[in-house]
Structure 1
């Protein structure tokens, strides 16, 4: 298992990509990071998926940003768990369940059409079913 002091998995060097593509990936990484940070505070907006996308992009364009994400106290464990077999912590599963449940409840009290409420709730239920089937990290790496 990886520890917080381990280096992130090897990535391609950024010089393999053309400069405009590296800048586009860097902008994408920063945008995903911002959305992930907003997702920490906004119910219904995912954090983990945006951090995973930010790390993916950063690994291809900015080794420094990727290392920063890998060693970050909040985002690092998510990335390391995912890198070690697609694991998701039980705390993250419960947090997602509570936030999606709250989002469904709030959505049901809005003026949204019934079909939209039902579709959003079904999508969230499918995501939760997939999420709860993901393995959990070993106790010492959680």
Structure 2
């Protein structure tokens, strides 16, 4: 893929993830932390300016910084992420995917991601806001 196309794809996908993460703050079935982490991953590879904005944001940045500092993911975020994984995987396995071995692969992926999320530390809600460290553009 052309570097320029990838650059714009990552920025666009990052912003979609930010929007979904913000919506997840208000909708109980949509997780916030995984979408903001995805946005940060997209931005760190495409736009230091957007990455710095996201991690330094007074409300959104703490979700990312707490995870990156090893403090964990909020319990609500863990529950919502795992629930959404199994709802979407379940729909795919039962109604969308006709091939039996693909169904097993999807189940294995869902199980692996669920275990990974569950094993992450659960964020202590008493932790203070963390000062974000900006990423510098070395290019």
TM-score scaled by structure 1?
0.62
The unaligned stretches of length 5 or more in structure 2 are: 24-29, 129-139
The whole-number CA distance in structure 1 between the counterparts of 2:71 and 2:10 is 20
The whole-number CA distance in structure 1 between the counterparts of 2:54 and 2:78 is 21
| 8 Å Cα contact 2:40/2:51 also seen in 1 | no
TM-score scaled by structure 2?
0.63
The unaligned stretches of length 5 or more in structure 1 are: 1-20
Residues 83-122 of structure 1: pairs in structure 2 closer than 5 A: 83-85=68-70, 87-112=72-97, 113-122=99-108
The whole-number CA distance in structure 2 between the counterparts of 1:49 and 1:115 is 30
Q: Are residue 54 (structure 1) and residue 42 (structure 2) matched? A: yes
| Correspondence for 1:137 | 123
The count of aligned residue pairs is 115
The whole-number CA distance in structure 1 between the counterparts of 2:103 and 2:36 is 23
Q: Structure 2 vs 1, CA of residues 111 and 32 (structure 1 numbering), >3 Å: closer, same or farther?
A: closer
| Correspondence for 2:11 | 30
The two structures, once aligned, show a CA RMSD in angstroms of 3.2
